[in-house]
Amino acid sequence: MNAPDLSRAAQKAAFENNKLSKRLHRLVGQAVVDFNMIEQGDRVMVCMSGGKDSYAMLDILLSLRERAPIDFDLIAVNLDQKQPGFPEHVLPDYLKSRGVPFHIEEQDTFSIVKSIIPEGKTTCGLCSRLRRGILYRVAGELGATKIALGHHRDDILETFFLNLFFGGKLKGMPPKLVSDDGRHVVIRPLAYVEEADLERWAELRAFPLIPCTLCGSQENAQRKQVKAMLRQWERESPGRAQTMFNALTQVVPSHLADRSLFDFAGLRAAGVPDPQGDIAFDADPCVGAGELPRAQSVQWF
């Protein structure tokens, strides 16, 4: 490849990288605004696992904080679960280089999980419950008002299908919720971001990734099977994942069958047209499938 070709390739790469950066910041900013994730004076505890998602979340929140119309603090927290070979220096070194306040919580949950879960069985459920309880405690000790987790759009879709296929529920992973103990607000700023973009961002930003040797290597996990299914669907029909995610933001209780969400027993014909009635089935299902509804509020992007 000659010099002009190299120059054009470099320009194209820079253009694509800039597009990626703008898209990530726009989507995270939109999610924060849509769900009122971060408010004036918040102290946000950013949970860092050492994976691409948490690195990207912190990186983008740091950038958005510089232009946000409100003031808030960030503190990074890592739970050192004492996995054999875990490089303890990597996250502290990175966080110091970014000037981010941080706390490392050391708890040997690795041994607990290994002692309880039989060999070959998935460890994710118990591991996540132990980790969640510890992080809630640490949030209280640090005075955090919000707990930020790095789950992205594809995680949310995978959780929806896991509940649908194996739990018999229409239930996903909400962008914002109150914690199990009722004392904390948990937020997922990456809720609108697809995993492929995070993979590209992690490579571009050269994050010092730390692989999970506990659950990350379990090929028989149901979540990995669902992930493979969704990726195959996306290859066959590009855009399908986004359409499915949009469906989670536009729920019509009257067209499901949950009696606790809609009063089917009390439903009567009142002679008033209903835009969600039978006519709803006549609409083109593809119309409006590509855009997320936005909150009318101050934008961060």
CA pair distance 102, 182, nearest whole angstrom: 24
Pairing of strands 176-178, 185-187: antiparallel
Residue 124 assigned ligand-binding role: yes
Run of H or E including 279: none
Instruction: Say which residue the tokens 């879960």 belong to.
Output: 117
Instruction: Name the DSSP letter for residue 86.
Output: -
CA angle 214, 185, 243 (to 5 degrees): 75
- Residue 93 and residue 48: Cα distance in Å, rounded? 13
The SS3 of residue 81 is coil
Residue 154: φ, ψ to 5°: -70, -35
Task: Confirm or deny that 127 is annotated as ligand binding.
Answer: yes
In the chain, what is the greatest distance between 2 CA atoms, to the nearest angstrom? Answer: 75
**Which residue, chain included where needed, has tokens 């502290």?**
92
Positions of E strands within the chain:
43-47, 73-80, 102-106, 146-148, 176-178, 185-187
Local structure of residue 66 (DSSP, 8 states): H
CA 264 – CA 101 distance, rounded (Å): 52
Q: How far apart are the C-alpha atoms of 152 and 80, rounded to whole Å?
A: 22
Annotated binding site: 124, 127, 215
Annotated binding residues for [4Fe-4S] cluster: 124, 127, 215
